[in-house]
A = this chain, B = another copy of it.
Amino acid sequence: MTARPVILTGDRTTGPLHLGHYAGSLQARLARQDSHDQYLLLADSQALTDNAQDIGKVRRAVIEVATDYLAVGIDPAKTTICLQSHLPALAELTVLYLNFVSVARLERNPTVKEEIRLRGFGRDILAGFLCYPAAQAADITAFKAVAVPVGADQLPMIEQTNEIVRRINAAAGRAVLPEAAAVVSEVGRLPGIDGRAKMSKSGGNAITLSASAEAIAAAVRAMYTDPGHLRATDPGRVEGNVVFTYLDAFDPDRAAVAELKARYAAGGLGDAAVKRQLEAVLQDLLAPIRARRRALAAAPDHVLAVVRAGTERAQARTEATKRELVEALGLFRL
């Protein structure tokens, strides 16, 4: 058997996952379980970089996210689910890499810059946030991941990781670390049910994977459509209409969606009818996930055992990389 390429991805543990995660990443992860040696990092340390004031949320989300993974069909026999804070090699490589990147370079990172702007941190950003690209480089390289799924806006992060890789390899005099390739998702980001660009639990515009049948129905009823489409007989706009965006993302019957779009655009199809179709699709999608989630919630020891076993596997891999790096760089080894 040929070695499957190593891919690293994961989620900051700040809350349960939602439909946006399903469309943007979970589906792709399910599809890669046989083709890739896939590691899913429960990024609790990284979650602290801007949630140090609410550690309880970060802690509780560890098991929530792991449960979501298993509920959607991640198979721990194929994919390794592991906990960032329990992989000391990641912290050790982070501290090492900080000696191979300048403050000015970290400040120039466009992702960091943009996040600083969005969050209004200014000069008072926490050091952990500024240093986050070095921590991400540590994550990626400790697993020797050659593929890293990212949004298009995160390409500079991968570039910065590879800069550090090249510096380390230059210091070692050989290619001890592989460069990573960004895997940019073709799926656009799923908007919130209110039409805002980003679905988020804190934004109150998300449908979580554990949503009840009633919550799904209510969310679809409240969903943003075309504010100019007042009567069913009027022509309606499909672009920017969240209901159609969701149908594109989740309805497996492409032809039916295309027909609905044509009828809606021409006039003669009411929002209620389109929403009925979407609700049916979402209920079908989420019912088995919710059922598995419920079964898993009744067996918390099982989820914990999965995370523990995956973390042990990840420890072995990341410790091996650290030892190799110590050797290659000529650091002292007791």
Residues of chain A whose beta carbon lies under 8 Å from any beta carbon of chain B: 13, 44-45, 48-49, 52-53, 55-56, 58-59, 62, 83, 85-86, 88-89, 91-92, 94-96, 98-104, 106, 123-131, 134-135, 171, 304, 307-308, 311, 326, 329-332, 334
Contacts and interface: CB of A to CB of B under 8 A. Distances in A.
Given A91-B88, A92-B91, A52 B332 contact: no
A55 B100 CA distance: 12
Contact of A332 (B44, B88, B100, B330): B44
A332 B58 contact: yes
A208 to B, nearest CB: 20
Nearest to A138: B95
A334 B99 contact: no
A208 B89 CA distance: 36
A314 to B, nearest CB: 11
B83 A332 contact: yes
A102 B125 contact: yes
Contacts of A101: 126-127
Given A52-B171, A91-B92, A102 B85 contact: no
Contacts of A308: 334
A56 B330 CA distance: 6
Contacts of A49: 99
A50 to B, nearest CB: 8
Given A44-B331, A99-B129, A103-B124, 11 more contacts: A52-B100, A55-B329, A85-B92, A88-B88, A101-B126, A101-B127, A103-B126, A127-B130, A131-B131, A304-B334, A311-B334
Nearest to A330: B55
Contacts of A53: 171
Contacts of A86: 334
B171 A55 contact: yes
B88 A330 contact: no
Contacts of A100: 52, 126
A123 B55 CA distance: 33
A126 B134 CA distance: 12
Contacts of A45: 95-96
B96 A123 contact: no
A131 B326 CA distance: 21
Contacts of A330: 55-56, 59
A101 B92 CA distance: 19
Contacts of A104: 123-124
Contacts of A102: 123-127
B59 A96 contact: no
A155 to B, nearest CB: 21
A49 B62 CA distance: 33
A332 B85 contact: yes
